[in-house]
A and B are shown apart, each in its own frame.
Chain A
Amino acid sequence: MRSVIDILDLSKTEIDELIAVAEDIIKNPAKYSEKCRGKKLATLFFEPSTRTRLSFESAMYELGGNVIGFSSAQTSSASKGESVADTAKVISCYADIIAMRHPKEGAPYVASKNASIPVINAGDGGHNHPTQTLADLLTIKREKGTLNGYTIGFCGDLKFGRTVHSLISALSRYENINVVLISPDELKLPDYIKKGVLDKNGMPYTETTDLESVIPTLDVLYMTRVQGERFFSEEEYLRLRDSYILTPEKLENAKSDLAILHPLPRVNEISVKIDNDKRACYFKQVLNGKYMRMALILKLLKEAGSI
């Protein structure tokens, strides 16, 4: 049974097809409104996540399907000690497809090996979150018109940010992408991604601690949150934090067609004053996430022979 646990479970061709379907859904929503009639998505959320769960649920409803599930481990049999494997087997009897979020890394993989229906990883700890990456890719495609040939800056926590790691992996299959890594030294992109993804795929990259100096070169800016708990000293955190907050002043020298992305939730790393700037794409990104989830649900249900 085909599942999507990691963004690299999808080939470049498949991702391009998903993007094409999502763009068609945007143009012709009525054409898709009955595609999943009579089908059920089980949203198994072992930890709270408002946006991702509601995105999956609205995606399934807009395809004409139904949704069952739970939104925290306390309201599931996990609180009684049921294993992920057993939960996956049981839910396979009720639903046609699963979207699972779990605080333990690898839990959706275990579910996929035990379920008889497709499993979509909706986030497992700090590990993978493939549908966020699909949302990011569709946003870049819609804003820049292509997924090839641009300079993308990743700013903030590049060490622990799973969305950054996944997006870099996904982009490594496209052509002529320059990567600018903007972070404090404490939160630099791990070496295994620099060597294993960027170097391996011949993606040129530069590293800097200074957002303002590189912002004029960027076509896409992917912001993430610098979290206080990642620092050893509060003083150091406070000193660095403001360097990575995007303000209208910092945008003064940016390109007029820059696309600013953020996986959300935002705390303070993007000033709300930027929200009305036409370059701010993070709320469009949320909407794009729903379209890509619709496209992915359709693809996996088709491959499973359910629709």
Chain B
Amino acid sequence: MKVDSILNGFVIDHIPAGLGMRLYDLLGLEKLNVTVALIKNVYSKKTGKKDIIKIDADIELNLDVIGYIAKDATVNVIKNGVIIEKKTLSLPEKMVNVIKCKNPRCITTTEQELDHVFTLADSEHGIYRCLYCEAEA
């Protein structure tokens, strides 16, 4: 399979296999009118399989979302076809409007104008809790 190299943009590499599509959705990439490639189940020496996302545009990338979904991924920043920076990720302390609270008793289910806010409750296990009802994400 051949996917063109990108000139200016990002390569999100080492996404655990199977999580690429979720990351694509949460980053809102379907709304972009630029070249985006989601490559699934790529051979990886380290993990066997991985997903990769390539974005051929210099967009504002929400690193918190990537850190939440795939904290071990790497984000390569490409300028004029050259990697100029490798961003490392960590679990974000707080996420606003990235995911929605699934607790049917949460106030966010009835008050639509509220932001959906999750805070990192357990960094060791990557557990996030809703700011309002404390339900686990």
- On whether the two chains bind one another, the answer is yes
Q: Are A109 and B105 in contact (CB under 8 A)?
A: no
B32 proximal to A (CB < 8 A): no
What is the 8 Å Cβ interface bit string for chain A, positions 212-234, against chain B (1 contact, 0 not)? Answer: 00000000000000000000000
Closest residue on chain B to residue A111 by CB atoms: B107
Residues of B within 8 A of A106 (CB): 106-108, 130-133
Closest residue on chain B to residue A110 by CB atoms: B107
- Counting contact residues on chain A (CB < 8 A from B), the size range is 10 to 19
Q: Are A192 and B109 in contact (CB under 8 A)?
A: no
Closest residue on chain B to residue A102 by CB atoms: B107
With A84-B107, A110-B107, A125-B105 as known contacts, state yes or no: A105 contacts B133, CB within 8 Å: yes
> For the complex, would chain A's binding face be called helix, strand, loop or mixed by DSSP majority?
mixed
What is the 8 Å Cβ interface bit string for chain B, positions 4-28, against chain A (1 contact, 0 not)? Answer: 0000000000000000000000000
Q: Of B33-41, B65-73, B110-118, which binds chain A?
A: B110-118
What is the 8 Å Cβ interface bit string for chain A, positions 61-99, against chain B (1 contact, 0 not)? Answer: 000000000000000000000011100000000000000
B56 proximal to A (CB < 8 A): no
What is the 8 Å Cβ interface bit string for chain A, positions 100-132, against chain B (1 contact, 0 not)? Answer: 001111110110000000000000111100000
Partner of B113 from the list A83, A103, A107, A109 (CB cut-off 8 Å) is A83
Chain B residues at the A interface, C-beta cutoff of 8 Å:
103, 105-111, 113-114, 121-122, 127, 130-136
Chain A residues at the B interface, C-beta cutoff of 8 Å:
83-85, 102-107, 109-110, 124-127, 192, 196
